[in-house]
């Protein structure tokens, strides 16, 4: 190759070179707007940066603070993991099942059903407004007024303010909001499953639909399932905004604060971007761990 | 000599004067309008049966009495011919008594000041026009004293009487008073065709008003339509007057009209009424200060999305003709409720009855009804059945009357009334379980009250007034669809070329930049104020950018503003400790500037002996109470907390409550409002003379025994006395279930404008105080507020200081607040920090003195690095106690230590920067 | 078959046997899912219901769910409230449409091309590069805001349309989805066959692979459009004429409770374009490819 002359350059262009050209738009912008900021953020995690004066290099101090000095962090990690472990798998499995069930309907029925389940994600911010009204701490909120009239309680309960209740409610709301990206991705992934497999399967002894799902459908969707899983991990660890609007900033006793809302707090109120960056790195590591676990689980599919 | 003859002679000589002056007017066009007013005065005095009382004196705080003779008994309107004489902004408040009896039941009588354009329309460097500044109209005019916007009338018997005038606020130079009979305004009578005017059409542009009785009734610009005159798709042109500022009863705009010859003219308006969907707005027409005939007392302007034209005519389309003699006249339009007047009166009565019933119900059932109990409401409340039946009958009759006017079913006002009636009937039909309908009853009741308020908001835009020969076809500019589209397209394209931010030819070298995160209306107001006042006087341009970027982003991009205004309480110290703000003590005159605020108002903005912000707003709580309800239980307004607790006990025995609402921290914005704005604890600590921070400002006092006691007392209000943590105090105050409570003092504005039924029944006073060992009561309270600063990275610090001085000055503070309030309503009134500005704002004299009194007692705590944690700690401790019943002292110790840690950490971190 | 039966007949284009439901069972199933889905649609119904509420119902607290006496007054009042914006409303609408369409189109093309390279092209470092793209998804965005703002500022795109569009193009999720889809849906044999037939890389990509992965990029179309349609720039846009529709309409809610009806109307109207795109995209996702075109 090296000995060839111009002709091979053209050949190379038509083979490998074109790949690089096709890759270029995406990767160049990706590096500019994602990689560079991520690297800066990691570097910032070793500094003390209050966003106004210049960053001061402090080495591992932020990390030391995370592990040794931060009393709230333990609660926060506990909350984050609770959300991740409960909401994550539940909504993932739910999105697979729903996609599978809806897939078999024909055109209009399918669009309608998909639309209905996708609505909370589509409507966005106004979606959880109605939960706020239902669980309002006033004696006129839906749930409170119902319980009061039935005589089950005597004073209105501050749902979101009370550590006993707020976690459960937010988990439910999160589940309800979660039919989003992975759900639609699974739906589209089901389209391209190779139909010939099913004939082979019928011969090979597939007895019912669940067998079919587990042994045939899912394994041929592995790539999409991985996508769904990664998106789910990302979604579940990013629960932050709704918590502050519903439960307070920060919530009582930090009972429902997650790492994301904590990071926002550290950066937004305390102006300690260096520490926030260190926490982001911690969050990243946690998500990576989950990603690896999920990757391995998916390999088991169909066995 | 006979008084009548005297009057006639006076009139005749006046006419001679009038002619002479008119001639001189012809040679000096455009100047003073003394002659004009002489003819106006004439019109009122010439009414059949009018009694003119000459005064020629100044009405002020010393009372003046006049004698007059009433030839025939009847009901009379009162009109003043005169001119305001001092330079204040507030309307004149006065008391009028006839034969030692007040004619207005002790409500204060208002005499509006008049305003007019000071010079021409202002134009900015790009050609955009905006309204001229307003100045006092310093000429004689006819004014009607009003109560709540309504003209007053009084019964007089035949014979001699005396009338006494005294002004409790302001001064007025009265030339004469005219009392004329109410029934002198006769119905319209069609004139002879021969007397019709048949010359050219005269057009008066709406924005060229002669004077108006509210400072905020300025001319406006509509750039979105090709139907308005004048219009331009590329720049904003002033083309109409009115808008949302012209909607309250009694607000009046007066134009000057030049009639070419004697005759009967037809009157039509180019207008837009798109404020009240599917209902009419009404105006009263006056010519030379007098309503010409009874049909003119309410002209209807129907709803329409776009600009339209209406001819003043009757239901069959026959125009009402107005007689004008040749020469100058005035034409006024006053906001009125027109045909709805009686209905509103009746509704007010019904609502007050409903309110009383609701109140009685709450005393029996408490706030929430227990569904499993029978309350026997009809037994326990006197005459409940009869009252409800009457109310229902009245509601049905009101609805019928409303239908007659609006002519259609299903309008929102009618449906509110039907709804109330339905609930009342449900209660009547289910006597034993009537209590279950309490919440429906309440929501219908609040809707109905709100509806009555809405019916009295009648906005209108006037583009042009056209007087012409009767029945002549006015050449309508029929703007074709094509032209409209072309206009829209031009406007769209110009949006790619126009620069919407800068107000003038800004040379960015010397110009200041200001970032505001406000809404569009507030930014507009600010822009106008800066252009017309600040830039004009100092020559410094200011580039106002509407952006919601943070200071951090500003600093990173290097393109930040020079100064920031309206920063949350904790921000100046937060930014100063990081070196982002400029120390204002570097300016020599800073101490003088501080004098215009209450002493100590700038305390939160000091950091290490430097001053980093000037306060531009200061808010604090006062106690509001309902005298009528307290009287029912023989209670008086408490002066101390112990007395308040006694009041709470009595009220809660009757299922009523006290409102000390708690502000929950839901986002960063609230967290940075500072500890004083969020809870009562700092106030209580102030009253016990406990500082919040140690002397060296590196730790809090939250864990000290005195504070623990205070906190214990504070939380016991909620845990032991069962006060509600989160309530809507305004609503509860209005219906009486919370007859006492604490709230920011600006609640008074809301009560004044939106709860007029409570006038005279509620009062405000300073918060309850704490008695010390010597028996003296300490009424201190903690406040909240915002500040304005200069950024260190600014290259124009001197100019920025000029801006800050202007911004916190009395004129700017008052202008901004009142302008924004005119657009957004009473809730938008700002709690200004400049004491002079406060005094200039339209409070009643009683409110003014109450608020100033309470303001004196406000003490501010300093801000330190890490103070957000203090607010948070208090919040956390509070919720732990109120939710989970943990020990208050334990919780405060726990969270107080967190706060201490944080404050220490942050202080040490920034010590050496 | 009647129309109803056709709607509920299970969709099975393949000629092979599959365990599918009976038509009746399918109908029951549909009802069950519909009821479950109704729970999800609650906020949308609430929004629509509120937008028709007359003012007395808007003032109720707690708000009633269904409107009792619907009126279109809020809709009629909306143009009034949007008067006098300075910048004409058409411009804001244009901005939103332009930004959404441009960034969606550019993003899909860039992400699809990159995904194709990752999936089928064998280049040095391709696996590593793709892992980086994938992992970038997992990094929390809050701390990235400051460095990104700095970069925007340095390359000078602040206060231009580019600050909306450029950062939207390299979105990891899009590339990830496309690549996974291509991995599972496009067999290597197909690519080789095309290569043998003399198609260039780009032609293979455009004419063969893209139609196969249509469900993926249709889904991507939906997400991207929805996100870009409702974008509200924070601190990156200063000029009035570059702001988007959601930002302007959000100022309506500043008018207090009396305006909440019209604010809800604005919300409902803003939701319509994403819903239209949703329907289009979902209808296109359904077209299956039947056999993959290769006989094994």
Same domain as B897, residue B769? yes
**CA gap A131, A7 in Å, rounded:** 67
pTM of the complete model beyond 0.90? no
Q: What share of chain B is helix, strand, coil (3-state, %, to 5)?
A: 40, 25, 35
Q: Does residue B498 belong to the interface with chain C, where contact is any CB pair within 8 Å? A: yes
Q: Which chains touch B (3 or more CB pairs under 8 A)?
A: A, C
Q: What pLDDT is attached to residue C98?
A: 94
Radius of gyration of chain A (CA): 25
Same domain as C252, residue C182? yes
Instruction: Provide CB contacts within 8 A for B860, sequence distance 6+.
Output: B600, B601, B602, B603, B604, B676, B782, B783
Task: Domain A57-299: give its CATH code.
Answer: 1.10.3720.10
What tokens does A38 get? Answer: 């991520």
B305 with C149: Cβ contact below 8 A: no
Show residues of chain C in contact with B558, CB under 8 Å: 153
pLDDT grade for B584, boundaries at 50, 70 and 90: very high
pLDDT grade for C286, boundaries at 50, 70 and 90: low
Q: Which residues of B469-483 are buried (b: 16+ CB within 10 A; e: fewer)?
A: bbeeeeeeeeeeeee
A267 with C143: Cβ contact below 8 A: yes
C202 with A26: Cβ contact below 8 A: no
**CA gap A161, C269 in Å, rounded:** 34
Say if CB A293 and CB A230 are below 8 A apart: no
Q: Which residues of B279-304 are buried (b: 16+ CB within 10 A; e: fewer)?
A: bbbbbbbbbbbbbbbebbbbbebebe
Same domain as B245, residue B161? no
**CA gap B458, B273 in Å, rounded:** 9
**CA gap B778, B771 in Å, rounded:** 6
Distance of residue A14 Cα from the nearest chain C Cα, in angstroms: 7
**Three-state SS across B280-296?**
CEEEEEEECCECCCHHH
Same domain as B330, residue B346? no
Show residues of chain C in contact with A258, CB under 8 Å: none
Same domain as B444, residue B469? no
**CA gap B819, B525 in Å, rounded:** 7
Radius of gyration of chain C (CA): 24
pLDDT grade for B315, boundaries at 50, 70 and 90: confident
Among A14, A24, A30, A221, the residue to mutate for chain C (most C Cβ within 10 A): A30
Residue B663 sits at φ, ψ, to 5 deg, of -95, 120
**B879 is in which domain, residue-wise?**
621-783+865-910
**Three-state SS across chain A?**
CCCCCHHHHHHHHHHHHHHHHHHHHHHHHHHHHHHHHHHHHHHHCCEECCCCCCCEECCCHHHHHHHHHCHHHHHHHHHHHHHHHHHHHHHHHHHHHHHHHHHCCCHHHHHHHHHHHHHHHHHHHHHHHHHHHHCCCCCCCHHHHHHHHCCCCCCCCCHHHCHHHHHHHHHHHHHHHCCCHHHHHHHHHHHHCCCHHHHHHHHHCCCCHHHHHHHHHHHHCHHHHHHHHHHHHHHHHCCCHHHHHHHECCEHHHCCCCHHHHHHHHHHCCCCHHHHHHHHHHHHHHHHHHHHHHHHHHHCCCC
Domain range list for chain A:
1-44, 57-299
Q: How many other CB atoms are there within 10 angstroms of residue B72's CB atom?
A: 10
Same domain as B900, residue B803? no
Exposure of B544 in the CB half-sphere (CA atoms within 13 A): 22
Q: Model confidence over A254-294: pLDDT tens digits?
A: 778 888 888 888 887 788 888 999 999 999 999 999 988 88
Residues in chain B: 913
Same domain as B203, residue B251? yes
Q: Model confidence over B544-553: pLDDT tens digits?
A: 877 777 777 7
Instruction: List residues bridging with B563 in a β-sheet.
Output: B514, B790
What tokens does B812 get? Answer: 């700017």
**Mean model confidence pLDDT for chain A:** 81
Q: Model confidence over B339-355: pLDDT tens digits?
A: 888 899 899 899 988 98
Show residues of chain B in contact with C240, CB under 8 Å: 500-501, 546
What tokens does C62 get? Answer: 């707690």
Same domain as B642, residue B696? yes
Distance of residue C186 Cα from the nearest chain A Cα, in angstroms: 9
Show residues of chain C in contact with A271, CB under 8 Å: none
| Angstrom distances, CA of residue C130 to CA of A182, C101, C116, C133 | 20, 26, 11, 5
A53 with B578: Cβ contact below 8 A: yes
Tell me which residues of chain B, numbers 59 to 78, contact chain C at a CB-CB cutoff of 8 Å.
none
C80 with B450: Cβ contact below 8 A: no
| Dihedral sign for Cα atoms in the order A134, A135, A137, A143 | positive
pLDDT greater than 80 at residue B283: yes
Same domain as B223, residue B79? no
Same domain as B882, residue B812? no
Mean pLDDT of C126-154: 87
Q: Does residue C225 belong to the interface with chain A, where contact is any CB pair within 8 Å? A: no
C169 with A37: Cβ contact below 8 A: no
Instruction: Please give the DSSP secondary-structure letter assigned to residue B107.
Output: P
Q: Say which range, B378-387, B500-509, B580-589, has the weakest mean pLDDT.
A: B500-509
Mean pLDDT of A3-28: 74
Same domain as B287, residue B224? yes
pLDDT greater than 90 at residue C83: no
Say if CB C228 and CB C168 are below 8 A apart: yes
Among C81, C235, C261, the residue to mutate for chain B (most B Cβ within 10 A): C235
Q: Does residue B484 belong to the interface with chain C, where contact is any CB pair within 8 Å? A: no
Residue at C162 is within a domain: yes
Same domain as C120, residue C40? no
Whether omega for the bond prior to residue A250 falls within 30 degrees of 0, making it cis, is yes
Distance of residue C99 Cα from the nearest chain B Cα, in angstroms: 15
Distance of residue A53 Cα from the nearest chain C Cα, in angstroms: 13
Write the residue in C16, C47, C114 that is nearest to A26 by C-beta: C114
Q: With left for phi above 0 and alpha for psi between -120 and 50, is residue B513 left, alpha or beta?
A: beta
Same domain as C63, residue C99? no
Show residues of chain C in contact with B559, CB under 8 Å: 153
pLDDT greater than 60 at residue B39: no
Exposed/middle/buried for residue B451 (C-beta within 10 Å: 0-12, 13-18, 19+): buried
What tokens does B1 get? Answer: 């000599």
Q: Model confidence over B467-513: pLDDT tens digits?
A: 988 877 666 666 777 887 888 888 888 888 776 655 444 555 678 88
Residue at C11 is within a domain: no
Instruction: Please give the DSSP secondary-structure letter assigned to residue B534.
Output: I
| Angstrom distances, CA of residue B172 to CA of B118, B141, B191, B250, B621 | 21, 12, 39, 19, 35
When divided into structural domains, chain C yields a total of 2
Residue B467 sits at φ, ψ, to 5 deg, of -110, 130
**C53 is in which domain, residue-wise?**
24-71
CATH number at residue C232: 1.10.3720.10
Residue at C250 is within a domain: yes
- Asked if this assembly's ipTM is beyond 0.90, the reply is no
Mean pLDDT of B769-783: 85
pLDDT greater than 80 at residue B72: yes
Residue of B nearest to C243 (CA): B547
Which one is predicted more confidently, B222 or B786?
B786
Q: Which residues of C220-235 are buried (b: 16+ CB within 10 A; e: fewer)?
A: bbbbbbbbbbbbebeb
The SS3 call for residue C283 is helix
Same domain as C214, residue C116? yes
Exposed/middle/buried for residue B738 (C-beta within 10 Å: 0-12, 13-18, 19+): buried
Q: Does residue B548 belong to the interface with chain C, where contact is any CB pair within 8 Å? A: yes
Distance of residue C141 Cα from the nearest chain B Cα, in angstroms: 16
Residue of A nearest to B661 (CA): A138
Residue at B251 is within a domain: yes
**CA gap B177, B67 in Å, rounded:** 11
| Angstrom distances, CA of residue B397 to CA of B390, B404, C249 | 11, 11, 41
> How many helices, marked H, and strands, marked E, lie in chain C?
15, 0
Same domain as B591, residue B547? yes
Mean pLDDT of A16-34: 88
pLDDT greater than 70 at residue A221: yes
When divided into structural domains, chain B yields a total of 5
Say if CB C50 and CB C261 are below 8 A apart: yes
**CA gap C260, C56 in Å, rounded:** 12
**CA gap A246, A256 in Å, rounded:** 10
Q: What pLDDT is attached to residue B478?
A: 64
Q: Say which range, A83-92, B228-237, C83-92, has the weakest mean pLDDT.
A: C83-92
Q: Which uninterrupted H or E stretch holds B136?
A: strand B133-136
**CA gap B535, B71 in Å, rounded:** 59
Q: Does residue A263 belong to the interface with chain C, where contact is any CB pair within 8 Å? A: yes
Q: What pLDDT is attached to residue B499?
A: 66
Write the residue in C77, C149, C239 that is nearest to B501 by C-beta: C239
pLDDT grade for C165, boundaries at 50, 70 and 90: very high
C282 with A181: Cβ contact below 8 A: no
CATH number at residue B770: 3.40.190.10
Residue of B nearest to C56 (CA): B447
Q: Does residue B546 belong to the interface with chain C, where contact is any CB pair within 8 Å? A: yes
Residue at B84 is within a domain: yes
Residue of C nearest to A220 (CA): C184
C139 with A284: Cβ contact below 8 A: yes
| Angstrom distances, CA of residue B141 to CA of A99, B35, B113 | 78, 11, 11
Same domain as B197, residue B166? no
**CA gap A34, A28 in Å, rounded:** 10
Residue of A nearest to B663 (CA): A248
Residue at B33 is within a domain: yes
Q: Which uninterrupted H or E stretch holds B416?
A: helix B412-429
pLDDT grade for B40, boundaries at 50, 70 and 90: low
Q: Model confidence over B638-691: pLDDT tens digits?
A: 999 999 999 999 998 888 888 887 876 666 667 777 777 778 888 888 888 888
Residue pairs between chains A and C whose CB atoms are closer than 8 Å = 286
Residue B845 sits at φ, ψ, to 5 deg, of -65, -30
Instruction: Provide CB contacts within 8 A for B738, sequence distance 6+.
Output: B656, B657, B658, B659, B727, B729, B732
Instruction: Please give the DSSP secondary-structure letter assigned to residue B69.
Output: E
B278 with C251: Cβ contact below 8 A: no
pLDDT grade for B17, boundaries at 50, 70 and 90: very low
The SS3 call for residue B91 is coil
CA-closest candidate to residue B162, choices B187, B142, B179: B179
B868 with A248: Cβ contact below 8 A: no
Q: Which residues of B134-158 are buried (b: 16+ CB within 10 A; e: fewer)?
A: bebbeebbbbbbbeebebbbbebee
Say if CB B63 and CB B355 are below 8 A apart: no
Residues in chain A: 303
**CA gap C221, C217 in Å, rounded:** 6
Distance of residue B449 Cα from the nearest chain C Cα, in angstroms: 10
Q: Does residue C231 belong to the interface with chain A, where contact is any CB pair within 8 Å? A: no
A158 with B883: Cβ contact below 8 A: yes
Show residues of chain A in contact with C148, CB under 8 Å: 33, 37
Strands (E), chain C: none
Whether omega for the bond prior to residue C284 falls within 30 degrees of 0, making it cis, is no
Show residues of chain C in contact with A202, CB under 8 Å: 16-17
Say if CB A177 and CB A127 are below 8 A apart: yes
CATH number at residue B307: 2.60.120.260
Residue of A nearest to C226 (CA): A122
Residue at B613 is within a domain: yes
């Amino acid at each position: 190759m090296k000995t060839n002359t111009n002709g091979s350059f053209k050949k190379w262009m038509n083979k490998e070179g074109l790949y690089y050209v096709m890759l270029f738009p995406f990767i160049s912008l990706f590096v500019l707007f994602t990689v560079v900021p991520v690297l800066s953020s990691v570097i910032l995690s070793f500094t003390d940066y209050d966003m106004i004066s210049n960053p001061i290099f402090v080495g591992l101090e932020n990390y030391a603070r995370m592990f040794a000095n931060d009393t709230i962090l333990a609660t926060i990690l506990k909350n984050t993991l609770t959300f991740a472990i409960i909401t994550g798998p539940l909504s993932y499995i739910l999105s697979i099942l729903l996609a599978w069930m809806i897939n078999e309907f024909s055109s209009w029925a399918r669009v309608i059903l998909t639309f209905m389940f996708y609505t909370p994600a589509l409507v966005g911010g106004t979606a959880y407004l109605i939960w706020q009204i239902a669980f309002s701490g006033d004696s006129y909120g839906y749930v409170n007024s119902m319980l009061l009239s039935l005589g089950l309680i005597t004073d209105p309960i501050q749902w979101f303010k009370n550590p006993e209740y707020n976690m459960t409610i937010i988990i439910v709301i999160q589940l309800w909001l979660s039919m989003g990206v992975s759900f639609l991705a699974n739906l589209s992934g089901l389209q391209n499953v190779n139909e010939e497999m099913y004939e082979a399967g019928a011969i090979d002894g597939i007895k019912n639909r669940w067998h079919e799902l587990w042994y045939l459908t899912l394994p041929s969707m592995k790539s999409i399932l991985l996508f769904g899983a990664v998106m789910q991990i990302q979604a579940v660890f990013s629960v932050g905004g709704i918590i502050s609007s519903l439960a307070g900033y920060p919530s009582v006793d930090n009972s429902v604060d997650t790492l994301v809302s904590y990071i926002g707090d550290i950066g937004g109120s305390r102006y300690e971007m260096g520490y926030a960056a260190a926490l982001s790195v911690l969050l990243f590591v946690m998500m990576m761990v989950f990603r690896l676990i999920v990757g391995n689980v998916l390999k088991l599919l169909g066995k | 000599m006979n008084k009548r003859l005297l009057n006639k002679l006076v009139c005749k000589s006046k006419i001679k004067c009038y002619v002479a002056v008119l001639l001189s007017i012809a040679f000096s066009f455009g100047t003073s309008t003394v002659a004009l007013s002489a003819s106006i005065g004439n019109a009122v005095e010439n009414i059949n049966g009018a009694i003119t009382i000459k005064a020629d004196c100044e009405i002020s705080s010393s009372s003046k009495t006049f004698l007059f003779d009433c030839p025939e008994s009847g009901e009379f309107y009162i009109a003043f011919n005169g001119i305001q004489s001092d330079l204040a902004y507030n309307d004149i408040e006065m008391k009028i008594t006839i034969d030692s009896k007040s004619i207005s039941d002790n409500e204060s009588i208002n005499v509006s000041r008049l305003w007019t354009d000071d010079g021409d329309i202002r134009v900015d460097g790009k050609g955009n026009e905006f309204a001229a500044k307003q100045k006092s109209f310093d000429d004689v005019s006819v004014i009607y004293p009003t109560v709540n916007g309504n003209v007053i009338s009084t019964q007089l018997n035949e014979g001699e009487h005396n009338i006494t005038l005294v002004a409790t606020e302001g001064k007025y130079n009265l030339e004469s008073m005219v009392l004329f009979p109410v029934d002198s305004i006769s119905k319209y009578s069609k004139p002879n065709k021969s007397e019709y005017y048949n010359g050219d059409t005269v057009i008066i542009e709406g924005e060229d008003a002669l004077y108006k009785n509210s400072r905020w009734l300025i001319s406006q610009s509509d750039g979105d339509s090709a139907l308005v005159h004048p219009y331009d798709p590329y720049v904003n042109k002033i083309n109409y007057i009115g808008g949302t500022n012209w909607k309250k009863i009694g607000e009046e705009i007066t134009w000057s009209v030049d009639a070419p010859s004697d005759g009967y003219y037809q009157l039509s308006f180019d207008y837009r009424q798109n404020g009240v969907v599917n209902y009419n707005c009404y105006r009263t027409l006056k010519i030379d200060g007098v309503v010409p005939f009874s049909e003119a007392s309410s002209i209807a302007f129907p709803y329409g999305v776009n600009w339209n034209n209406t001819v003043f005519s009757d239901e069959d389309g026959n125009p009402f003709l107005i007689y004008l003699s040749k020469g100058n006249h005035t034409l006024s339009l006053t906001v009125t409720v027109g045909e709805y007047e009686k209905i509103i009166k009746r509704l007010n009565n019904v609502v007050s009855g409903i309110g009383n019933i609701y109140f009685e119900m709450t005393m029996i059932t408490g706030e929430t009804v227990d569904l499993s109990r029978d309350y026997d409401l009809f037994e326990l409340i006197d005459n409940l059945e009869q009252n409800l039946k009457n109310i229902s009958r009245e509601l049905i009759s009101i609805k019928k009357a409303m239908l007659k006017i609006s002519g259609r079913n299903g309008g929102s006002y009618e449906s509110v009334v039907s709804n109330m009636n339905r609930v009342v009937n449900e209660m009547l039909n289910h006597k034993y379980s009537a209590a279950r309908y309490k919440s429906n009853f309440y929501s219908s009741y609040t809707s109905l009250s709100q509806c009555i308020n809405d019916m009295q908001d009648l906005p209108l835009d006037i583009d042009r007034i056209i007087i012409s020969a009767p029945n002549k076809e006015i050449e309508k500019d029929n703007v074709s669809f094509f032209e409209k589209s072309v206009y829209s397209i031009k406007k769209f394209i110009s949006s790619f070329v126009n620069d919407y931010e800068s107000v003038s030819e800004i040379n960015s070298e010397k110009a200041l930049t200001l970032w505001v995160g406000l809404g569009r209306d507030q930014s507009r107001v600010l822009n106008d104020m800066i252009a017309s006042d600040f830039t004009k006087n100092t020559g410094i341009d200011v580039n106002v950018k509407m952006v919601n970027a943070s200071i951090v982003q500003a600093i990173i991009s290097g393109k930040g503003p020079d100064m920031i205004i309206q920063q949350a309480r904790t921000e100046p110290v937060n930014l100063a400790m990081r070196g982002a703000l400029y120390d204002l003590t570097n300016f020599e005159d800073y101490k003088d500037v501080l004098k215009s605020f209450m002493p100590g108002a700038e305390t939160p903005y000091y950091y290490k002996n430097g001053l980093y912000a000037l306060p531009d707003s200061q808010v604090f709580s006062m106690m509001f109470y309902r005298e009528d309800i307290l009287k029912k239980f023989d209670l008086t307004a408490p002066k101390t907390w112990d007395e308040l607790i006694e009041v709470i006990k009595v009220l809660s025995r009757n299922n009523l409550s006290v409102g000390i609402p708690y502000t929950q921290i839901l986002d960063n914005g609230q967290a940075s409002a500072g500890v004083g704005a969020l809870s009562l604890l700092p106030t209580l600590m102030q009253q016990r003379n406990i500082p919040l921070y140690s002397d060296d400002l590196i730790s809090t006092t939250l864990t000290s025994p005195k504070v623990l006691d205070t906190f214990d007392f504070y939380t016991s209000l909620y845990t032991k006395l069962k006060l509600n943590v989160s309530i809507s105090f305004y609503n509860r105050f209005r219906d009486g279930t919370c007859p006492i409570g604490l709230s920011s003092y600006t609640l008074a504005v809301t009560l004044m404008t939106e709860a007029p039924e409570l006038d005279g029944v509620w009062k405000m006073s300073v918060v309850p105080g704490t008695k010390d060992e010597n028996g003296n009561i300490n009424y201190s309270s903690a406040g909240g507020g915002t500040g304005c600063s200069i950024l260190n990275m600014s290259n124009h610090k001197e100019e920025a200081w000029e801006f800050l001085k202007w911004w916190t000055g009395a004129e700017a503070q008052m202008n901004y607040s009142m302008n924004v309030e005119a657009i957004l309503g009473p809730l938008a009134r700002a709690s200004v920090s400049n004491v002079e500005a406060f005094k200039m704002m339209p409070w009643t004299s009683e409110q003014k003195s109450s608020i100033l009194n309470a303001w004196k007692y406000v003490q501010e705590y300093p801000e330190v690095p890490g103070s957000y944690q203090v607010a948070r700690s208090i919040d956390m401790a509070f919720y732990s106690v109120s939710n989970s019943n943990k020990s208050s002292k334990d919780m405060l110790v726990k969270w107080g230590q967190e706060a201490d840690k944080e404050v220490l950490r942050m202080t040490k971190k920034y010590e050496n920067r | 078959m009647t129309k109803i039966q056709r709607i509920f007949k299970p969709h099975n284009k393949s000629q092979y046997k599959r365990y599918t439901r009976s038509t009746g069972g399918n109908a029951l199933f549909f009802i069950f899912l519909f009821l479950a889905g109704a729970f999800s649609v609650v906020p949308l119904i609430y929004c629509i219901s509120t937008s028709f509420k007359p003012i007395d119902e808007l003032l109720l607290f707690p708000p009633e769910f269904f409107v009792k006496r619907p009126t279109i007054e809020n809709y009629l009042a909306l143009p009034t409230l949007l008067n006098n914006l300075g910048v004409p409303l058409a411009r804001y609408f244009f901005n939103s449409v332009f930004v959404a369409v441009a960034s969606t189109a550019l993003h899909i093309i860039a992400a699809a091309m990159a995904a194709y390279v990752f999936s089928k092209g064998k280049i040095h470092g391709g696996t590593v590069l793709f892992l980086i793209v994938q992992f970038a998804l997992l990094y929390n965005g809050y701390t990235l805001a400051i460095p990104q703002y700095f970069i925007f500022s340095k390359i000078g795109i602040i206060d231009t349309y580019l600050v909306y569009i450029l950062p939207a193009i390299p979105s990891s999720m899009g590339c990830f989805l496309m690549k996974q889809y291509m991995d599972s849906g496009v067999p290597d044999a197909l690519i080789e066959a095309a290569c043998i037939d003399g198609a260039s890389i780009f032609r293979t990509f455009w004419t063969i692979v893209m139609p196969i992965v249509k469900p993926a990029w249709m889904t991507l179309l939906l997400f991207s459009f929805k996100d870009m349609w409702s974008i509200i720039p924070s601190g990156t846009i200063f000029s009035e004429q570059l702001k988007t529709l959601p930002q302007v309409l959000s100022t309506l809610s500043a008018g207090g409770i009396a305006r909440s009806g019209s604010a809800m109307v604005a919300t409902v109207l803003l939701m319509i374009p994403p819903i239209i795109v949703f329907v289009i995209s979902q209808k296109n996702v359904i077209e299956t490819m039947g056999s993959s075109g290769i006989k094994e």
